[in-house]
């Protein structure tokens, strides 16, 4: 391979076991004639700094090993770079929604095999107030659980840690007014939470909140309207993993661009949540960047990309 591979990994992500796979990773890619650079993250922001000081023309691929927060940090740096290097993902975090959508196996050995095949697709990227996201941006009650759940709990209990933290927050629910503008349409109502999704992932019943069908070339607003306390609590708890479906309580809007404001926000809801990380506060301006990022996927049947191709960087015999 003429260009190098940069592996960025978070040693604190998920069960922290990926560090035991580094030798296998180096051996496999080394046998393919690749030069691999490894960067081990120490603090939040140093992966982005690594990308910024790297000559991107020397790279043929960036691979991240971590959760959605790790991918988000790398995404910010990639989108701000003039040269967009393709991205590969190893699901090594507590929350791996983007990796799961791309079909990346949880077994690290199988995941490395998928990366070697270099099956490429191009994804849409969402943006809110200058911060980019592949999956979703959330605001309101229960969104705080991702920020309130500490790393030790996530490492010990996995996604169950989010439910444990969420249940503790249910008695503290507060509502807030929103004004939502998209195109010439304006919506005003009282909400307890909303998500902005990249694509139509929420349209499929019983699917988790994750990227599903950027073929729509739209963002989707999914808001839980304020209702009776027991209804709010049931819908919010369900929203940790699944999409509430009842149209009486859920407002859903598709659009290319959204501007969302509020006349009154509770003190503890000053910030949004963007793909695993704390995001900007109100007002929020959303826009979509179509086909902005090349990613490696394990999806055999692509329904959302007309620009799918396989890059012959490696020759792998099975």
Q: Is residue 317 part of a domain?
A: no
Q: What is the pLDDT of residue 174?
A: 86
Reply yes or no on whether the pLDDT at 314 is more than 50: no
The pLDDT of residue 305 is 44
Q: What is the pLDDT of residues 96-121, one digit of tens each?
A: 888 888 889 999 999 999 999 999 99
For the domain that residue 216 is a member of, what is the CATH number? 2.60.200.40
Residue 117 and residue 170 in one domain: no
pLDDT recorded at residue 267:
83
User: In this structure, are 18 and 37 located in the same domain?
Assistant: yes
* Percent above pLDDT 90 for the chain: 43
The more confidently predicted of residues 88 and 203 is 88
165 domain-assigned:
yes
Residue 175 shares a structural domain with residue 250? yes
Query: Residue 180: which domain range?
Result: 131-290
pLDDT in tens, 167-223: 555 556 788 999 999 999 999 999 988 989 987 543 333 333 344 444 467 999 989
Written in H, E and C, the secondary structure of the chain is CCCEEEEEECCCCCCCHHHHHHHHHHHHHHHCCCCEEEEECCCCCHHHHHHHCCCHHHEEEEEEEECHHHHHHHHHHHHHCCCCCCEEEEECCCCCHHHHHCCCCCCHHHHHHHHHHCEEEEEEEEEECCEEECCEEEEECCCHHHHHCCHHHHHHHCCHHHHHHHHHHHHHCCCEEEEEEECCEEEEEEEEEEEEEECCHHHCCCCECCCCCHHHCCEEEEEEECCCHHHHHHHHHHHCCECCCCCCCEEEEEECEEEEECCCCCHHHCCCEECCEECCCCCEEEEEEEEEEEEECCCCCCCCCCCCEECCCCCCCC
Is 85 or 242 the better-scoring residue by pLDDT? 85
Do residues 200 and 111 both lie within one domain?
no
Residues 115 and 156 in one domain: no
- Count of structural domains within the chain: 2
């Amino acid at each position: 391979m003429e260009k190098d591979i940069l592996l960025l990994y978070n040693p604190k992500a998920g069960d922290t076991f990926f560090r035991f796979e580094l030798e296998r990773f180096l051996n496999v890619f080394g046998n393919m004639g690749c030069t691999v650079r490894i960067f081990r993250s120490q603090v939040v922001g140093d992966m982005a700094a690594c990308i910024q000081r790297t000559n991107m023309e020397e790279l043929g691929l960036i691979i991240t090993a971590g959760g959605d927060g790790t991918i988000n940090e790398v995404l910010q740096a990639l989108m701000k770079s003039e040269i967009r290097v393709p991205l590969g993902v190893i699901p090594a975090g507590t929350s791996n929604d983007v990796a799961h959508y791309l079909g990346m196996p949880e077994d690290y050995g199988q995941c490395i095999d998928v990366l070697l095949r270099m099956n490429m697709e191009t994804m849409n990227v969402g943006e809110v107030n200058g911060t980019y996201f592949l999956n979703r941006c959330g605001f309101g009650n229960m969104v705080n659980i991702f920020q309130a759940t500490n790393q030790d709990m996530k490492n010990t209990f996995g996604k169950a840690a989010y439910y444990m933290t969420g249940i503790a927050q249910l008695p503290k629910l507060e509502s807030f007014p929103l004004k939502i503008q998209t195109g010439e349409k304006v919506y005003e109502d009282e909400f307890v939470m909303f998500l902005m999704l990249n694509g139509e992932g929420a349209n499929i019943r019983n699917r988790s909140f994750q990227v599903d069908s950027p073929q729509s070339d739209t963002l989707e607003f999914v808001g839980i309207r304020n209702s009776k306390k027991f209804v709010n609590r049931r819908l919010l708890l369900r929203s940790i993993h699944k999409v509430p479906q009842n149209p009486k309580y859920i407002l859903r809007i598709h659009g290319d661009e959204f501007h969302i404001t509020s006349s009154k926000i509770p003190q503890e809801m000053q910030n949004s949540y963007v793909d695993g990380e704390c995001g900007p506060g109100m007002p929020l301006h959303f826009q979509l960047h179509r086909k902005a990022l090349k990613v490696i996927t394990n999806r055999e049947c692509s329904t959302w990309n007309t620009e799918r191709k396989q890059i012959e960087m490696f020759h792998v015999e099975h």
